[in-house]
């Protein structure tokens, strides 16, 4: 009985976050409240309508480093693994990150899972899907609409469905993200 109560309490907290807190247009208030659901680094910003899925609310399943930007309408699905986003990562609008998927080869529609690691200075363009078990290397760029099914080496540019390496990034990565709007509407 105790496990079901705990699962219900977790589901209720996530519902409150996704239905109410994620929609608060005042950035400072939303960021203050979001810290109860995930680990958020200094000067990082999680914009409005970023949906969080998780079986646990212990702040270790979804970790966001310093100077990161998670733009509106993203999905962070930490139900079956960790999502670890390092420093100075820019994730554009509508990106979905999954730690759980179904195995298409299973006779019983089983699931498979894996952690998602996004290293420093990665730029994920809009409407990207990142599947379980993927590591995106330092300084990489993922093109809009890509579906990332495998690891991406550092300083690579990847795009397509499924994502493939289409170039190398030539940058010293000296920047720090700095994005803090006061209001979102």
Which residues form the catalytic set? 102
Measured distance CA(86)–CA(2) in Å, rounded = 35
Strand partners, 104: none
* Closest-CA residue to 136 (of 63, 86, 175, 179): 86
Measured distance CA(92)–CA(88) in Å, rounded = 13
116 Cα distance to chain centroid = 8
- Measured CA distances, 137 to 1, 56, 157, 164 (Å): 43, 27, 10, 14
Q: Where are the alpha helices (DSSP H) in the chain?
A: 2-19, 27-34
Measured distance CA(20)–CA(30) in Å, rounded = 10
Contact (Cβ atoms closer than 8 angstroms) between residue 117 and residue 150: no
């Amino acid at each position: 009985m105790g496990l079901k109560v705990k699962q219900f309490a977790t589901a209720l907290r996530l519902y409150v976050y996704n239905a109410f807190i994620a929609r608060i247009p005042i950035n400072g208030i939303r960021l203050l409240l979001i810290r109860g659901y995930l680990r958020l680094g200094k000067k990082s910003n999680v914009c409005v309508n970023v949906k969080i899925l998780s079986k646990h609310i212990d702040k270790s399943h979804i970790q966001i480093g310093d100077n990161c930007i998670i733009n509106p309408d993203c999905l962070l699905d930490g139900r079956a693994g960790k999502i670890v986003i390092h420093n100075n990562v820019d994730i554009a609008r509508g990106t979905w990150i999954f730690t759980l998927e179904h195995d298409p080869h299973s006779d019983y529609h089983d699931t498979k899972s894996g952690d998602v690691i996004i290293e420093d200075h990665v730029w994920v363009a809009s409407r990207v899907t990142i599947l379980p078990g993927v590591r995106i290397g330092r300084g990489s760029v993922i093109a809009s609409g890509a579906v990332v099914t495998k690891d991406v080496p550092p300083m690579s540019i990847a795009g397509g469905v499924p994502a493939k390496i289409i170039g190398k990034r030539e940058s010293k990565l000296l920047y720090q993200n700095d994005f803090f709007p006061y209001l979102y509407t």
